[in-house]
């Protein structure tokens, strides 16, 4: 099995897919908010019509229907028009477009999984490299705190009476943090060995010939000829 050839830059493809997804979600949220306002207005209309029926029966005929040109008739017309509203279909269409955009992003992510995972790993290495100077500075601060504790102990030891170094109060987390930061050079960014294996690694899961990923040792001959490129770590 050989390493996968370098793939073309797919940034624009992903940008467009995420733009469409973001736009679909925003449209659905906007129309959902409008629909909730519409529902609230209908509830208010229904409540006002009911109130008129109880308090101003002169607006209604013998059949209980609002008289023409009355406020009750106006409210009844609004409710009748709401009965033929297409809100349900409009929102269903928005939901379908969101699902389609999500499926497209999912498809592109799967298609370029190796490229994306490797880019995240390399960016993580850069993040850790950026932290080197910060860690060095923080270790300097913690070292000064340690020195101050030692001087506090020396001060108490010089005092007569019932006071000694055991009276110094310090934060044990300083020692713990120093020990952790002293190992910072060994920190590694998140990585998926299957998608971004390092030189010398043998992934337990490999790319299948017909798509998808399969166990590397299950005896199948369905392995893809081109496998993820093995990487040299940069730190």
pLDDT digits (tens, 9 = 90+) for 143-176: 999 999 999 999 999 998 888 888 899 999 999 9
Q: Which of 4-13, 33-42, 132-141 has the lowest mean pLDDT?
A: 4-13
Beta 205-207 vs 213-215: how paired, if at all? antiparallel
Q: In the chain, what percentage of residues exceed pLDDT 70?
A: 94
Q: What pLDDT, on the 0 to 100 scale, is given for residue 76? A: 92
Q: What pLDDT, on the 0 to 100 scale, is given for residue 161? A: 87
User: pLDDT tens digits for 163-212?
Assistant: 888 889 999 999 999 999 999 999 999 999 999 999 999 999 999 888 78
Structural contact between residues 214 and 220, judged by C-beta atoms closer than 8 angstroms:
yes
Find the DSSP H helices in 84-171.
87-111, 113-158
Mean pLDDT, the chain, as a whole number? 91
Give the mean pLDDT of 213-235. 87
Q: What pLDDT, on the 0 to 100 scale, is given for residue 233? A: 95
The number of residues making up the chain comes to 235
pLDDT-derived band of residue 49, with 50, 70 and 90 as boundaries?
very high
Report d(CA 18, CA 167) in Å as an integer.
60
- Residue partners of 179: CB distance under 8 A and separation at least 6: none
Q: What pLDDT, on the 0 to 100 scale, is given for residue 84? A: 82
Q: What pLDDT, on the 0 to 100 scale, is given for residue 3? A: 45
Structural contact between residues 128 and 189, judged by C-beta atoms closer than 8 angstroms:
yes
Report d(CA 221, CA 212) in Å as an integer.
14
pLDDT-derived band of residue 219, with 50, 70 and 90 as boundaries?
low
Q: In the chain, what percentage of residues exceed pLDDT 90?
A: 78
Domain ranges of the chain: 8-111, 113-227
Structural contact between residues 158 and 165, judged by C-beta atoms closer than 8 angstroms:
no
Structural contact between residues 206 and 223, judged by C-beta atoms closer than 8 angstroms:
yes
Structural contact between residues 206 and 214, judged by C-beta atoms closer than 8 angstroms:
yes
Residue 110: exposure state from Cβ atoms within 10 A (0-12, 13-18, ≥19)? exposed
Judge if pTM exceeds 0.85.
no
Q: Report how far Cα 229 is from the mean position of its chain's Cα atoms.
A: 28
Provide the token pair at 76.
């009844």
């Amino acid at each position: 099995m050989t390493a996968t050839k370098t793939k073309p830059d797919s940034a624009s493809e992903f940008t467009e897919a995420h733009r469409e997804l973001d736009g679909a979600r925003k449209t659905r949220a906007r129309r959902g908010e409008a629909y909730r306002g519409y529902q609230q207005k209908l509830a208010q209309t229904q409540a006002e019509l009911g109130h008129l029926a109880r308090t101003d029966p002169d607006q209604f005929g013998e059949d209980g229907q609002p008289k023409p040109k009355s406020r009750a008739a106006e409210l009844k017309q609004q409710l009748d028009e709401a009965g033929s509203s297409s809100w349900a279909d409009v929102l269903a269409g928005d939901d379908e477009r969101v699902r389609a955009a999500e499926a497209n992003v999912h498809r592109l992510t799967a298609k370029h999984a190796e490229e994306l995972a490797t880019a995240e790993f390399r960016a993580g290495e850069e993040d850790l490299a950026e932290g080197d100077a910060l860690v060095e500075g923080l270790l300097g601060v913690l070292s000064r705190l340690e020195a101050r504790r030692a001087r506090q102990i020396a001060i108490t030891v010089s005092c007569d009476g019932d006071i000694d170094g055991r009276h110094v109060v310090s934060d044990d987390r300083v020692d713990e943090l120093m020990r952790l930061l002293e190992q910072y050079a060994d920190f590694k960014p998140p990585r998926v060995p299957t998608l971004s294996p390092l030189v010398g690694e043998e992934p337990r899961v490999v790319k299948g010939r017909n798509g998808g990923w399969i166990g590397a040792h299950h005896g199948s001959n369905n392995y893809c000829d081109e496998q993820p490129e093995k990487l040299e770590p940069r730190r």
